[in-house]
Homo-oligomer: A and B are copies of this chain.
Amino acid sequence: MQSDLVIPTIRFKKGTIEIIDQTRLPAEYEIIPLRSVESLCDAMKKLAIRGAPALGVAGAFGLLLGIEEKWRREGSWFFDSEKVDASDFPKDVSVSAISDQVATVADKIGGTRPTAINLFWALDRMRKVCEGNWRSTRDLINALYSEAKAIFREDLDICKRLGERGAALLKDGDSVLTHCNTGGLATSGYGTALGIVVAAVESGKRIEVYADETRPLLQGSRLTAWECKQRNIPVTIVCEGSAGYLMSKGIVSRVIVGADRIAANGDTANKVGTLNLAVIAKHYGVPFYVAAPYSTVDPSIKDGSQIPIEMRSEEEVKQFAGVEVAPEGAGALNPAFDVTPHNLIAAIITDEEIHYPPFDDIG
C-alpha cells in the first residue's frame, strides 16, 4: 500500500488522540487533539470523526485516553504512537480500578453512536483484555495498548484485503456510485467501499466515481470528493435525487456502499439514503454491493428490524452548511441510517470473503 493512500484519520500520540476534523473539510484540513474522553465523545457525536471502522478505532483509543485522563501526571503520558511507558503509573491503583475505568469509559463512548456495531466490537475487545488474570497494572496497561494498536493496524490490513477482494468485481471503465464517505476518513486510513475503488485504480483499471453528496451532512461532497481528488480518481458530485437519472441512463454501472451493521441474514444498516439506492439499483439491474470489515456483521441480530437506528437533530436537516433553510417552527425527521434488506444486495464484500445471496453463510 502506498503511504499516500493512507489518510491520517486518527492517531494516538503523546497521550492524545489526534483526528482530522471532518466537520471542516474540505475548506480546512485541520488535525485536532483530543485530550479528554468528553472531547472525544463530542467529536464522535458531531461527526468530526465518523465511519463505522474509524469509530471502532476511536473507541479503542478512547479507552487508553480514559486511563491517561484519570491517572497521568501533568506534562507526562503513558501511551505514545509507538510505545507505552507505565513506569510512573500510580502504585496505589489496582488492576480492578483500571478495569472499572475501562468499563465506565466504554459505556460513555458506546453511548455516542448506537448503530455502528464496529464501535461496540472494538470496545468489547478492549473490555475482554481486562478480563485476563493480570498480575500487575503495568501488564494490563501494556496489553490494552497492544490491543488498541492492533485494532488500528488490523483495520488498515482488513481494508486493504477488502479493497483487493472487491476490486476483482470492478471492470475497467466502470462508473461507481458511492454514498456518504467510505474512504480513508471512515477507517484507519484506507477505506471500505471507496477502498475497493482505490484498489481497482491501483491495479490499473480506469474507474470513475459518482459521489452522492449525502445530506444532511454532505460527507459525499465534502469528504469522498476530497479523498478522490487527493488520490487523482475522477469524481463527479451528484445530489441524491439524481440516482434514478444516473441509473436509468446507464451513467453508473455499479453502486458500492459501506455498512454500519450487518444482521445475520445480510440485512444492512448504512447511512440514510442507502436503501433508496438499493431499491433503484434493483429496479434498473445495476449491481448493488455492500463493503465492510467482517467485524461489521452482528451475528446476535437475526435481521435488520432489530438494528437500532440513531435519530439525529432536526437542525441538521433545517440548516445547510450553517445557513438556516427552513421556516421557523417547521419540524424535521432525521434518521441517520436506514436498513437495506438482503434481497436487494448483489454481494457483501468483507475482508474474509465475498458473500452472495442468499447470504446463508454470513452470520
Contacts and interface: CB of A to CB of B under 8 A. Distances in A.
A244 B276 contact: yes
Chain A interface bracket (under 10, 10 to 19, 20 to 34, 35 or more): 35 or more
A283 interface: yes
Interface string A241-274: 1111110100100000000000000000001111
A271 B335 CA distance: 24
Interface in A202-243: 210, 213-216, 218, 221-222, 225-226, 228-229, 234-243
Nearest to A238: B333
B317 A239 contact: yes
B240 A332 contact: no
Interface in A267-289: 271-276, 278-280, 282-283
Given A239-B334, A335-B242, A322 B325 contact: no
A321 interface: yes
Contacts of A218: 320, 325
Contacts of A244: 273-276, 278-279, 338, 340
A330 B225 contact: yes
Contacts of A280: 276, 279-280
A324 interface: yes
A26 interface: yes
Contacts of A330: 221, 225-226, 228-229, 235-237
Nearest to A327: B26
Q: What is the total number of copies of this protein in its complex? A: 2
A318 interface: yes
Given A241-B272, A327-B225, A333 B210 contact: yes
A326 interface: yes
B245 A335 contact: yes
9 contacts: A215-B241, A238-B317, A242-B338, A244-B275, A245-B275, A245-B335, A248-B339, A276-B280, A321-B323
Going nearest first, the 6 A-B pairs with the smallest beta carbon separation are A241-B273, A244-B275, A26-B327, A321-B323, A215-B239, A225-B330
Given A236-B332, A239-B334, 15 more contacts: A26-B327, A221-B318, A221-B325, A222-B325, A229-B328, A229-B329, A235-B331, A238-B317, A240-B240, A241-B273, A242-B333, A242-B334, A243-B276, A244-B338, A244-B340
